[in-house]
Amino acid sequence: MSAMRPALSPALRDAECPASPARIAQCAVAALIDEACLSPKPALVDQRGSGAHRDLDLDTMLRSAHALQPTFFALARAASNAEPSQALREQLARIGREGEAAMMRATDGSNAHRGAIWIVGLLCAGAAMHAPNDSDAICASAAAIARHEDRYAPASATTSHGARVTQRFRVAGARGEARDGFPHARRVGITALDDARARGLAETDARLDALIAIIASLDDTCLLHRGGLDALDAAQRGARHVIDRGGVSTIEGRAALAQLDADLLALNASPGGAADLLAATLFLDSLRRLP
C-alpha cells in the first residue's frame, strides 16, 4: 500500500492556489491607479498634471482604471482552470477589445490604457493559473498565451502606432515584451523595487526608481512614436543619469529626474510603455504580497 500524502495546512494550501478572479481584478485596477497617481513621473500624467499628454489627465486615467475592472475580472475568469491555447488567446482578445471599448466610453475617446489592457490583462490570465507569489510562472503562462496569434484581430491592429513603430525601428514593442515573458516587469521593475525597499527607501521613491530602471532599459514605442530615436535616447540617457546619481531619493538624483522631465516635455514625448510596465510591476508585486 502506498503511503498517503499528508494533508496540507490551510495556509499552505491557499498559498499554492491561484487568487480568485475578483481579487486579481482588484489588484489590476489598484496597480493602474497607483501608477497613475505616482508623482513626479517624467512627462507622464500624475498628480502634478498631464505631462506630455494633451488629451489625458489624472481624473481621466482613474475613470479608465475603474472602467476596466469588469474586463480584468472576465480575463481572469476565462483563464481559471485553463491552459495557454489558441482558443484561450482568442477568447481573451475578444474580452480585451470589449474592455478597450469600455475604456474609450469612460474617457470620452482618449486612449488611457490600451497598452495596459494587453500587458496587465495577459498577466491577469496568468495569475488565474498559478499561486499569486509565483511571478515567474504567471509571466511564463501569460507569455505562452501571447505567442498564439489572434486570427480574428481587426485589420487596424496591424496599422496601430505601436505596430508601425515596431516595424520601422525593429524593436520588440508590447507584443514582443509579452512573448518574452515581461522581462522589464519581472526582472527590471521588480528587482529595482526590491532593491530600493531593501535600502529603506520610502515606497514612492522605490516605485519611482523602478520606473526609472524600466525607462533606462526599454525601447519604448510610445517615445519612438512621438519623438523618434532622439526621444528614446534622451529618455534612456536621462534615466541612467538618475540611476548614476543614486536614484530619486538623493538630491542629485531628484535633480536629474527633474531634468529628464524637462527634456521629454520639450520633445513632447512620453514614456507610456514604461508606465504600462510599471503598472505590470506593481500588479505582480501586489499579488505576491497578498495575505
Tens-place pLDDT, residues 252-262 = 999 999 999 99
Question: Is pLDDT of 3 > 90?
Answer: no
- With a CB cutoff of 8 Å and minimum separation 6, the contacts of 102 are 67, 68, 70, 71
Gap between the Cα atoms of 233 and 276, Å rounded: 19
C-alpha cell at 220: 519604448
Gap between the Cα atoms of 141 and 15, Å rounded: 18
Output the CA torsion 32→266→212→249 (10° steps): -100
pLDDT of residue 2: 41
pTM: 0.92
Backbone Cα Rg of the chain: 19
Domains and CATH numbers, the chain: 19-288 (1.10.4200)
Structure confidence by residue, pLDDT tens digits, 82-113 = 999 999 999 999 999 999 999 999 999 999 99
Structure confidence by residue, pLDDT tens digits, 16-35 = 789 999 999 999 999 999 99
Question: Is pLDDT of 157 > 50?
Answer: yes
Burial degree of 229 (CB within 10 A; 0-12, 13-18, 19+): exposed
pLDDT of residue 12: 46
Question: Is pLDDT of 130 > 80?
Answer: yes
C-alpha cell at 99: 474592455
What average pLDDT is seen over the chain?
Answer: 93
More confident residue, 226 or 194: 194
Output the CA torsion 25→26→29→35 (10° steps): -130
pLDDT of residue 159: 61
